[in-house]
């Protein structure tokens, strides 16, 4: 394919559009801030482009509203706003929005990817009714779903607590190794991957990402951006994402090689 200039992509596609989903306190806002390299809150606009001055609460939230960060206006985000706590009507509205935006004729009007956040700080309740309803019932069309396991570091103290006696007298290196192995066992035991790979699901993830310790100042979402890039089937969208993100030079190189 001939080289596509970034300016041409912007004119044809506009901004890279992401729907971020997941229950409350899953770390969604932190992810968006890291992606856009800022600590500021986003500006929010309604469907007519009018700025919404007050941060939206669950009572009057509209999934069609656009969130934009000044630090990187090339991204536009939509938030499902933890629909799991809402009514069946709220779920239907979310499904309708995804269906319309997944099958929109114009590329710039579509959602280009879905990030579904599942926090691991409640490892016994990773796949709840909200996750089941979304993955079983939502038709995402060709829009890739990337599952993001947030707060993955929460499994480590659980693993340590279970192995505390066994780790007495063990070297630091061996201790870290055993705890890491136990974390993997705990993650497998949640059964969340089996649920996500259920053949009856209508929405099927194209990639899985683990994020941890995102509260640290040097934390980033490079892995998420990389997996999202290569989950995209459309080459123009890949290049649009790579040109929109401004912090990951390694991703630019990998995409160029691919």
Q: Which of 22-31, 83-92, 163-172 has the highest mean pLDDT?
A: 22-31
Predicted confidence at residue 169, as pLDDT, reads 84
CA dihedral 182, 187, 189, 191 (to 10 degrees): -170
The pLDDT confidence band at residue 249, using thresholds 50, 70 and 90, is: low
- Top-confidence range, 46-60, 73-87, 106-120: 106-120
Q: Say if residues 86 and 204 touch (Cβ distance below 8 Å).
A: no
Where would I find the H helices in 103-154? 129-137
Non-local (6+) Cβ contacts of 127 within 8 A are 118, 190, 191, 192, 195, 196
Q: Which of residues 5 and 31 earns the better pLDDT score?
A: 31
pLDDT of residue 197: 96
223-236 pLDDT tens trace: 999 999 999 998 88
What Rg do the C-alpha atoms of the chain give, in angstroms? 19
For β-strands 16-22 and 113-119, DSSP reports them as parallel
Nearest to 203 by CA among 131, 102, 135: 135
3-state secondary structure of 242: helix
Provide CB contacts within 8 A for 82, sequence distance 6+. Answer: 22, 23, 24, 26, 58, 130
Give the CA angle between residues 98, 241, 225 to the nearest 5°.
85
How many angstroms separate the Cα of 245 from the Cα of each of 20, 69, 148, 222?
17, 12, 18, 9
Q: What is the pTM of this model?
A: 0.89
Q: What is the spatial distance between Cα 83 and Cα 68, in angstroms, rounded to a whole number?
A: 21
Closest CA to 242 of 4, 44, 1: 4
DSSP one-letter code for 106 = S
Stretch among 8-12, 127-131, 144-148, 229-233 having the lowest mean pLDDT: 8-12
Q: What is the pLDDT of residue 42?
A: 93
Return left, alpha or beta for 82; rule: phi > 0 is left, psi -120 to 50 is alpha, else beta. Answer: left
- In angstroms, rounded to a whole number, what is the distance separating the alpha carbons of residues 204 and 210? 17
- What tens digit of pLDDT does each residue of 161-216 get? 998 888 888 888 998 999 999 999 999 999 999 999 999 999 999 999 999 999 99
37-41, 53-57, 119-123, 164-168: least confident range: 53-57
DSSP string, 32-88: HHHHTT--SPPEEE-TTS-EE-SPP-GGG--TT-EEE-TT-TTEEEEE---GGGS-H
């Amino acid at each position: 394919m001939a080289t596509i200039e970034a300016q041409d992509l912007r004119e044809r596609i506009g901004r890279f559009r992401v729907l971020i989903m997941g229950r409350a306190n899953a770390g969604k806002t932190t992810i968006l801030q890291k992606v856009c390299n800022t600590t500021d809150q986003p500006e929010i606009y309604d469907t007519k482009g009018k700025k919404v001055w007050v941060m939206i609460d669950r009572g009057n939230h509209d999934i069609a509203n656009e969130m934009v960060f000044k630090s990187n206006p090339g991204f536009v985000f939509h938030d499902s706003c933890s629909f799991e706590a809402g009514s069946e009507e709220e779920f239907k509205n979310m499904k309708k929005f995804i269906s319309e935006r997944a099958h929109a004729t114009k590329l710039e009007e579509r959602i280009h990817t879905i990030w579904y956040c599942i926090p691991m700080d409640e490892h016994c309740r990773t796949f709840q009714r909200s996750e089941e309803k979304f993955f079983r019932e939502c038709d995402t069309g060709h829009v890739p779903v990337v599952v993001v396991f947030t707060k993955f570091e929460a499994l480590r103290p659980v693993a340590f607590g279970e192995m505390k006696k066994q780790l007495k007298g063990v070297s630091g290196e061996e201790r870290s190794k055993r705890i890491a192995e136990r974390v993997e066992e705990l993650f497998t035991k949640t059964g969340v991957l089996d649920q996500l790979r259920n053949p009856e699901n209508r929405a099927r993830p194209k990639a899985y990402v683990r994020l941890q310790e995102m509260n640290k100042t040097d934390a980033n979402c490079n892995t998420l951006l990389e997996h999202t890039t290569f989950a995209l089937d459309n080459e123009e969208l890949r290049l649009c994402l790579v040109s929109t993100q401004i912090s990951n030079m390694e991703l630019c190189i990998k995409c160029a090689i691919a």
